[in-house]
Amino acid sequence: MVRLRYPPFDVLVAWVDGAPSAIEDACNHAGASLSEGDRHGACIACPMHGYLFDLTTGRLVQPRGLCEDQRRFVARVEGDDVVVYDPGAGITLLGV
CATH of residue 80's domain is 2.102.10.10
The reply to whether 15 falls in a domain is yes
Q: Which residue has the higher pLDDT, 88 or 94?
A: 88
The pTM of this model reads 0.88
Q: Which residue has the higher pLDDT, 10 or 95?
A: 10
Give per-residue pLDDT as tens, 49-65. 999 999 999 999 999 88
Cis amide prior to 63 (ω within 30 degrees): yes
Owning domain of residue 80: 2-91
The reply to whether 96 falls in a domain is no
Q: Which residue has the higher pLDDT, 80 or 57?
A: 57
Alpha-carbon distances of 82 from 7, 22, 43, 49, 61, rounded to whole Å: 19, 10, 20, 30, 26
Q: Is the pLDDT of residue 81 over 60?
A: yes
Q: Which residue has the higher pLDDT, 56 or 89?
A: 56
Contact 70, 57 (CB under 8 A): no
Q: State how many domains the chain has.
A: 1
Average pLDDT, the chain: 90
